[in-house]
Amino acid sequence: MNTMKITRLTALLLSVLAATGVQSQDKKDVTPPEVNYQAGGSPIRDVPMYQSTNPKAPPMTQAEFDIGRKTYFERCAGCHGVLRKGATGKPLTPDITIGKGTDYLKVFIAYGSPAGMPNWLTSGEMDEKTVDLMARYIQQDPPTPPEFGLEDMKQTWKVIVPPEQRPTRKMNSYNIENIFSTTLRDTGEVALIDGDTKQIINIIKTGYAVHISRMSASGRYLFVIGRDAKINMIDLWMAKPDNVAEIRIGLEARSVDTSKYKGPAGDFTDKLAIAGAYWPPQYVIMKGDTLEPLKVMATRGMTVGKQEYHPEPRVASIVASHFKPEFVVNVKETGKSLLVDYSNLDALKVTEIGSAPFLHDGGWDSTKRYFMVAANQSNKIAVIDAKEGKLAALVNVGTIPHPGRGANFVHPKFGPVWSTGHLGDETISLIGTDPVKHKAYAFKKVAELKGQGGGALFIKSHPKSRHLYSDTPLNPDPKISQSVVVYDIDQLDKGYTVLPIAEWAGLGDDGAKRVVQPEFNKNGDEVWFAVWSAKNKQSALVVVDDKTLKLKTVIKDPRLITPTGHFNVYNTQHDVY
């Protein structure tokens, strides 16, 4: 970039910071893990949208506007929201941005801010031309994506194999409980892998960038949801497991689950499925055997705390209660967990529990009574009592907790604990979960372990293991992102052992080779890791012996393109983690 132009931007930066009372030396560096986490591309970037014209906004050609929209949804929507009304980042609507002016906005896009805005220019992520374009783009009226209602869903709904034509018994010889469902992120597929033989059973077409795999209560059906809000229902009883139904429930999504309750209020196992969307902000309840959409519910409403209206509260995680015929629907921006009683869809009852903003992911404690969900930008874990239908606690943890589903184990001193790693720092927080025999430690952060760095996404243990594993795939240091740490639960004070997973994969020196998501097999004696490289590079799965912490095998196949999350059928079905 031209030196004179850098000097001009720097001078403007100093004047802006001085005007806002912020000294340049106080500027906080935004960590690469935070940028990588918040700036993921959105499937909405190519969706036709309504665009209004604001006469006060600076001029843009249609071509420039299209580039700005695409860049915004690839880089910015994760923080500032689809409608630019603010999420984890501040609002960027024209009533605010036009008053600031193009030069002022260019400074903040280029250099970032102490409040957490990434430094897009100086980091090399954007050039000066793009910075100028984006400064003008965010002064335009935000383009509005279309809504996606029941009739829209029905147009995408396909029953590929009707229930009456499906097998009445298991038609294959696979040990279904030890099958792994592995996301092939960039090809829009999942690989079903035999956990016993380590052979690929089938590569199944799905939506783009499958976020999670979830099992029906019976363990027969596998449900996966892509970031493009497409759900695929896979029958594991078929001679060759494959899709039997599919649907799109919106334009962008992350979560799916099925009804698991069986008790005095009725038997709902496998009866219903539920999915939640990022856009539109809503969730939908479907038939559990066909994915026929039955009930759509919006999540737009008031935030916890300030009680301000938010037009875009995204549905993050959903789990099925084991105590009642309820789904626990966690809504990001409003900071609320919704207990959705599905026993009567014609008279739906929803219990609203407020905790803290930006609820994301989480998992059950070992008793499956308490749902531990990360309010990631609030640096807290909310504890939802699914039996009593209330907030049991709000626990302060490290910076940007990201547990996946977390990890349960019995601590030598504190008894049963649930744990989470963090995107923003190197710590692992342990929270006591036994209010009966270990009341003094219940729902408090009882200990903090030190890992090798921030950028953690998943942490995992198993009832038959005495080890705790944590990945760090978003850490900027390749030595850290390509390895994992493991702790001896009985000797936590001795620190961690580093396992060089990417090195064990034997993929050579080329490629990112980020190691992600430890996942145990059914027996709890193997741990699987995805070695995630670029779409045009070789990736692999690495299997480690949990007893010896030695390499057991490496699964390589040209069809394993960008493997990320993987889910063992038995552990996913029974919420074992």
* Residues classed as catalytic: 76, 79-80, 117, 360, 402
Measured between alpha carbons, how far is 180 from 522 in angstroms, rounded to an integer? 10
* Amino acid symbol at 236: L
Distance from C-alpha of 66 to C-alpha of 51, rounded to nearest angstrom = 11
Say how far apart CA 224 and CA 567 lie, in whole Å: 10
DSSP assignment of 504-557: HHT--S-S--EEEEEEE-TTSSEEEEEEE--TTS--EEEEEETTTTEEEEEE--
Beta carbons within 10 angstroms of residue 536's beta carbon: 10
CA–CA gap between residue 190 and residue 212 (Å, rounded): 10
Residue 296: strand, helix, or coil? strand
Query: Cα(173)–Cα(430) distance, rounded to whole angstroms?
Result: 40
What distances in angstroms separate CA 463 from CA 315, 345, 410, 444, 460, one per listed residue? 30, 36, 9, 22, 11
Cβ(102)–Cβ(132) below 8 Å: yes
Q: What is the sign, positive or negative, of the torsion defined by CA atoms of 246, 247, 252, 253?
A: negative
Q: Give the closest residue to 208 by CA, choosing from 328, 87, 40.
A: 40
- Alpha-carbon distances of 332 from 10, 87, 337, 507, rounded to whole Å: 36, 8, 9, 38
Question: Diameter of the chain by CA atoms?
Answer: 75
Other beta carbons within 10 Å of 18? 11
> Tokens 């070695």, residue?
531
Q: Which residues are 283's β-sheet partners?
A: 276, 297
Cα angle 95-100-101, degrees, rounded to a multiple of 5: 105
CB 318 within 8 A of CB 256: yes
**Nearest residue to 455 (alpha-carbon basis) of 402, 382, 406, 414:** 402
How deeply is 566 buried, as exposed, middle or buried, from its count of CB atoms within 10 A (0-12, 13-18, 19+)? buried
Cα–Cα separations (whole angstroms), residue 387 to 53, 87, 112, 323, 391: 51, 31, 45, 6, 11
Q: Which H/E stretch holds residue 109?
A: helix 102-111
The sign of the torsion formed by the CA atoms of 134, 135, 141, 144 equals positive
Phi, psi (rounded to 5 degrees) for 186: -85, -5
The backbone region for 335, taken as left when phi is positive above 0, alpha when psi lies in -120 to 50, beta otherwise, is: left
